């Protein structure tokens, strides 16, 4: 069935509920402000991250306290422990921008340390507005040609070759908001769960804001791409006839928030720099736990599920966390072994809630690393972006004399050898098992694209090797390095305790 609708615009022409006007953040929903309106400066002191500073919400208060030593000391928490390493006095959120610059003047440093990771995107946005800088043009005042093309693309959102980069341009950088809203609306979930339109729109705007757009790979466009892939998997016959509306809602929300507030560095980096998040989550699924808690914070701040019975709301938050935690690449073998066991024994029963949830976890894992299964034109872009993010982390580690993480040294790695290793040891085993579970045209298309993309990277590697031999012996060892890494499976694990190595190709 063809679904057409006008892309939503926040309904500011009608009275806004009081709970919306109480928003303490970079987005002000009052009759005198636009969707991206400037905040009241008086409110900023009460706003510390994506979670409302409300003493009646102990979970929210606890998460917010992570970012402000002064708040923690007031409620009996110890200040975050920092080692003596020179790196730890630097806010890694600004390292990419400062990499080539000298140390900032001392006068502004204390102010920078006050603001925490969780709200950094919105803090930057609000500070620009307070300084009078021009704000981004909202989607609803773009040229109608662009919004019309975006709506046409959404009519084919279930196609595996959906170009998320083009869609992001047509929506003026708001691909995650518009795609997720469209899918929720298409499934009828907004009406079924009686979701308040204003709360939902605020939630999606805040989710998109809390992705770091200066990350080459782990940004809102990646989240939108994973959400679109998740939708494709939800449409597969094995799932579409078995999943409940609640399963679908959780699957789409988990895809949209699975990398929320990703800092652009991996888990080993946070651990070896003694970052407070690594300490909080005891070096276990550090980033995934942070993504989950950040998503819960936004759900509670917007009150998206506040109309549901408290027990149902808590269960949805827990299930959302279970899905997001499954994307931890360091636990890949555990999930894959369990999946194989179920398939070998043919005992997956999708009428069983726990089995449905496990299949959702596997679907999200596939969506998260499906880039090697996209068509070459899309897959190559993702491969270059994720590799650049690795190399940026390696540059930071080199600058601050830290041990350079695997696949992060641009001097000894190429996009091709990283991608070939990732496909061989991570992506291919997962998608082969997924094809066993759901043997459809889409599954075969994904495997076909992966094979073609792998061959394409191999050809590029050979061309680079030949060019290196012609120009001199210095560049001739690239393939040897790739062979050693591929042969040992180094790229597959890479010491990364997080989903930091996604790449791929293919479509249907």
Contact at 8 Å (CB) between 496 and 268? Answer: yes
Q: Where are the domains of the chain?
A: 151-463
Q: Digits of tens for pLDDT over the chain (508 positions)?
A: 544 444 444 443 444 444 444 443 333 333 333 333 444 444 433 433 443 334 454 444 444 444 333 333 333 333 333 333 334 333 444 444 444 444 444 444 444 333 333 444 455 555 545 545 444 545 444 456 678 899 999 999 999 999 999 999 999 999 999 999 999 999 999 999 999 999 999 999 999 999 999 999 999 999 999 999 999 999 999 999 999 999 999 999 999 999 999 999 999 999 999 999 999 999 999 999 999 999 999 999 999 999 999 999 999 999 999 999 999 999 999 999 999 999 999 999 999 999 999 999 999 999 999 999 999 999 999 999 999 999 999 999 999 999 999 999 999 999 999 999 999 999 999 999 999 999 999 999 999 999 999 999 999 999 888 887 766 554 444 444 443 334 333 343 333 444 433 333 333 4
Known binding-site residues for AMP equal 218-222, 259, 368, 419
Candidate list 218, 291, 342, 449, residue with the active-site label:
218
What is the spatial distance between Cα 199 and Cα 139, in angstroms, rounded to a whole number? 18
Query: Is the domain 151-463 a CATH 1.10.1300.10 member?
Result: yes
Known binding-site residues for Zn(2+) equal 222, 258-259, 368
What is the spatial distance between Cα 220 and Cα 208, in angstroms, rounded to a whole number? 6
Phi (first) and psi of residue 135, to 5 degrees: -100, 165
Known binding-site residues equal 218-222, 258-259, 368, 419
- Confirm whether 218 is a catalytic residue: yes
Q: End-to-end CA distance of the chain: give it in Å, rounded.
A: 20
DSSP state string for 152-212? HHHTTTT-TT--HHHHHHHTTT-HHHHHHHHHHHHTTHHHHTT--HHHHHHHHHHHHHTS-
């Amino acid at each position: 069935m063809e679904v057409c609708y006008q892309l939503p615009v926040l309904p500011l022409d009608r009275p806004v509920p009081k709970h919306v006007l109480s928003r303490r953040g970079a987005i002000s929903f009052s009759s005198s402000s636009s969707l991206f309106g400037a905040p009241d400066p008086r409110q900023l002191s009460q706003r510390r991250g994506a979670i409302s500073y409300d003493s009646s919400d102990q979970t929210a208060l606890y998460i917010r306290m992570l970012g402000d030593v002064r708040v923690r000391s007031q409620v009996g928490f110890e200040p975050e422990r920092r080692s003596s390493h020179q790196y730890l006095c630097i806010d890694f959120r600004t390292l990419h921008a400062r990499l080539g610059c000298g140390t900032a003047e001392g006068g502004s440093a204390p102010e920078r340390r006050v603001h925490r990771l969780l709200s950094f995107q919105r803090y930057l946005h609000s500070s620009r507005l307070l300084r009078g800088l021009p704000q981004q043009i909202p989607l609803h005042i773009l040229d109608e040609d662009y919004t019309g093309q975006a709506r046409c693309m959404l009519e084919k959102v279930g196609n595996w070759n959906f170009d998320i980069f083009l869609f992001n341009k047509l929506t003026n950088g708001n691909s995650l908001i518009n795609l997720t809203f469209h899918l929720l609306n298409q499934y009828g979930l907004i009406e079924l769960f009686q979701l308040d339109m204003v709360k939902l729109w605020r939630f999606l705007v805040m989710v998109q804001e809390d992705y770091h757009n200066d990350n080459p790979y782990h940004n809102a466009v990646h989240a939108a791409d994973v959400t679109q892939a998740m939708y494709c998997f939800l449409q597969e016959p094995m799932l579409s006839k078995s999943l409940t509306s609640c399963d679908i809602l959780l699957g789409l929300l988990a895809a949209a928030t699975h990398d929320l507030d990703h800092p652009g560095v991996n888990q080993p980096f946070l651990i070896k720099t003694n970052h407070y998040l690594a300490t909080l989550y005891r070096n276990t699924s550090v980033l995934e736990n942070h993504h989950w808690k950040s998503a819960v914070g936004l759900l509670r701040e917007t009150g998206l599920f506040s109309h549901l019975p408290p027990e149902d709301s808590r269960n949805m938050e827990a299930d959302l966390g279970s899905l997001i935690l499954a994307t931890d690449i360091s636990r890949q073998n555990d999930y894959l072994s369990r999946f194989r066991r179920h398939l070998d024994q043919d005992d997956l029963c999708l009428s069983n809630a726990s089995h449905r949830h496990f299949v959702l976890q596997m679907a999200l894992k596939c969506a998260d690393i499906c880039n090697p299964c996209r068509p070459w034109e899309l897959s190559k872009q993702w491969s270059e972006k994720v590799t650049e993010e690795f190399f940026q982390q390696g540059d930071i580690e080199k600058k601050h004399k830290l041990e350079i993480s695997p696949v992060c040294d641009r001097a000894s790695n190429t996009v091709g050898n990283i991608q070939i290793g990732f496909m061989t040891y991570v992506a291919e085993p997962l998608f082969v098992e997924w094809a066993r579970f759901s043997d459809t045209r889409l599954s075969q298309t994904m495997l076909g694209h992966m094979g073609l993309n792998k061959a394409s990277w191999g050809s590029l590697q050979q061309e680079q090797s030949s060019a290196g031999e012609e120009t001199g012996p210095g560049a001739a060892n690239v393939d040897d390095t790739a062979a050693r890494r591929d042969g040992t499976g180094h790229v597959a694990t890479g010491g990364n305790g997080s989903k930091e190595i996604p790449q791929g190709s293919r479509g249907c």
